[in-house]
Structure 1
């Protein structure tokens, strides 16, 4: 096998035609990343420090924020550098590392949302059994499963893709992605497609289907209850529903984009649609949970009032 079939670099072609817009784009993206880090760190610190928030639902929210920091770091560090660079070659090892980080981030988000849906389902539909089923030990097991299974399944996909002999090195995106690399293969990719389909089904479609099933059960229960009960359910479930719908849309857009010729689109539109997948959820999640859940909102307001008093005393 010739060495040219395993190119040492990949070329991220979607950066072409940005021109002088790279500088305002860099500033905007740097501010976005700073906001993502700050907002998610606030959620993590609050839940870690406040004993009143040491409940399963808030522990899962903290895991979502940790995952947002993980995924955004895997994207923004390289993306910000490429915005200011004249060449957009990424080493082979760095490319497959970025694929692993971004795809595990996506899988973790979905498995965590599935676990959160189960938590809400038990709390609403089986309240008397909640503390028996959702114990601290069960929470640890659920979080471990949410991290471990996607980590190994995505690793299998990345390993198979990295073993393929390639007939090119151009990736029509602003970050490395698995499917564009597989499409460069010089040989059959049947095994890659089968493994990718299995991993997508188990880490994407099954969690999505499970979330939909739990909320159908919750809605059926709400039909028979009072207006006050419905209002409380909506208050507890709305942040999760918003997060779920937002992430489902971004995943759908990313899957759709991977199946079309991005270079045929307007370059700015293609870049914006590509960024949606790795930028919007880390921004929306802390805002939704911080503004909609009373306990977190109260803690944020208390923290702000304490900081104001400290500054006045100085």
Structure 2
């Protein structure tokens, strides 16, 4: 019975060990970054909720996208800000598992939402006569919910399997908890076989999401080439999706490659940047990209700002 119960109650996070001399500067920069992330995402969410003209599938998905950014960053920034002011960087065993669940269910949900967005744009441009019958409000709400629930359950299975392992080392050489790193702390590597199988199945599932998105946009580009009207639709609504996808994929691929194949000789500062890239750039850039590119949202926000300044 004891073999399935971790004897470790706390983990020590060593990712901040080389930042002692710049801790307060990092604290204020991180606080500023988190404040901007909260401000831009909440602005887009509130704008979409209060304006009934924006209660359309594309904007509902964007609202879900921004809510997911708030969910993911809430799992990292408050704890990270606390660690920057604390002399000891520790996290409880249960807190570590929760953080791992939040971090990667957030990343997988982003990819799921981008997949639904790609499907939505495919229908809007390539099947305009069927669009409103297929992408009804009820259906888009179901798809948005599945985009949250499915990744949460998939990552929950990964984290549950990790929680069954007996761990022998309490040291995590990162700024936050990662499921794959926790698995590597297991006393008996042979017991992690199932974890590895489920982890690779998870990777395959979300790589397939990525292929679906790429295929959708390649088909859209092919369809839009010979139509001025479709080209205008593509530039207005698809370019923000493609930009978000590229930002997300670059951030995630760098982090996964660093975790799986990264060299320990890399400077700790560079490893930290690679690790938190997907928690900084996509949540910060996505609402700004959509806010500036999508005319309805931009006009609504500018109108609100103008009204407040009068």
Q: TM-score range by the shorter chain?
A: over 0.9
State yes or no: 1:191 paired with 2:199.
no
Q: 1:212 aligns with which of 211, 214, 218?
A: 214
Equivalence map 1:5-20=2 (5 Å): 6-20=7-21
Q: 1:170 to 1:132 in 2, by over 3 A?
A: same
CA shift in 2, pair 1:16/1:261, >3 Å: farther
**Residue pair 2:125, 2:233 contacting (<8 A) in 1 also:** no
Which residues in structure 2 correspond to 1:120-139 (within 5 Å)?
Answer: 120-139=121-140
Given that 1:13 and 1:170 are in contact with CA atoms closer than 8 Å, whether structure 2 keeps it comes out as yes
SS in 2 for 1:164: coil
Q: How many residues align?
A: 307
Residues 290 and 296, structure 1, Cα contact 8 Å, conserved in 2: yes
- Matches of residues 92-111 of structure 1 in structure 2 within 5 Å? 92-111=93-112
Cα deviation 1:130-168 (Å, max 9, x = unaligned): 011101121121012111111111111001111111121
* Contact 1:253 1:277 survives alignment (8 Å): no
Q: Does the 8 A contact of 1:124 with 1:218 survive in 2? A: yes
Distance in 2 between residues matched to 1:4 and 1:300, nearest whole Å: 52
Q: Which residue of 1 aligns with 2:258?
A: 257
* Secondary structure at the counterpart of residue 186 of structure 2: coil
**Contact 1:14/1:263 (<8 A) preserved:** no
Q: How do 1:1-314 residues align onto structure 2 when only pairs under 5 Å count?
A: 1=2, 6-187=7-188, 188=190, 189-202=192-205, 204-223=206-225, 225-261=226-262, 263-309=264-310
Partner Cα distance (2:158, 2:12) in 1: 21
Deviation at 1:2, TM superposition (A): 7.0
Give 1:200 shift: 2.1
Structure 1: how far apart are the matches of 2:232 and 2:211?
25
After TM superposition, the score normalised by the length of structure 2 is 0.96
Structure 1 residues 39-87: Cα deviation after superposition (integer angstroms, max 9, x where no partner):
1000000000011111000000000110010100110011101111111
Name the structure 2 match of 1:312: none
Structure 1 residues 117, 302: CA separation in 2 closer, same or farther (over 3 Å shift)? same
Kindly tell me: are residues 67 and 3 of structure 1, through their superposed partners in 2, closer, same or farther at Cα, counting changes over 3 Å?
closer
- Supply the distance in 2 between the matched residues of 1:272 and 1:148 (Cα, whole angstroms): 29
Q: How many Å separate the matches in 2 of 1:141 and 1:199?
A: 22
C-alpha displacement of 1:264: 2.3
Query: Structure 1 length normalisation: TM-score?
Result: 0.94
**C-alpha distance after superposition, 1:178-216 (max 9, x if no partner):** 1111111122211001111112222x2121111011111
Tell me how far apart the structure 2 counterparts of residues 58 and 102 of structure 1 sit (CA, whole Å): 24
Note if contact 2:291-2:298 (Cα within 8 Å) is conserved in structure 1: yes
Structure 1 residue 262: deviation in Å?
5.9
Structure 1: where are the runs of 5+ without partners? 310-314
Q: Secondary structure at the match of 1:186?
A: coil
Tell me how far apart the structure 2 counterparts of residues 12 and 261 of structure 1 sit (CA, whole Å).
18
C-alpha distance in structure 2 between counterparts of 1:108 and 1:229, whole Å: 29
CA RMSD of superposed structures (Å): 1.5
Whole-angstrom distance in 1 between the partners of 2:182 and 2:174:
11
Tell me, what secondary structure is at the counterpart of 2:91? Answer: strand
Query: Within 1, Cα distance between the matches of 2:195 and 2:264?
Result: 24
1:231 CA drift (Å): 2.9
Q: Evaluate the alpha carbon distance shift between residue 158 and residue 229 of structure 1 in structure 2; reply closer, same or farther with a 3 A threshold.
A: same
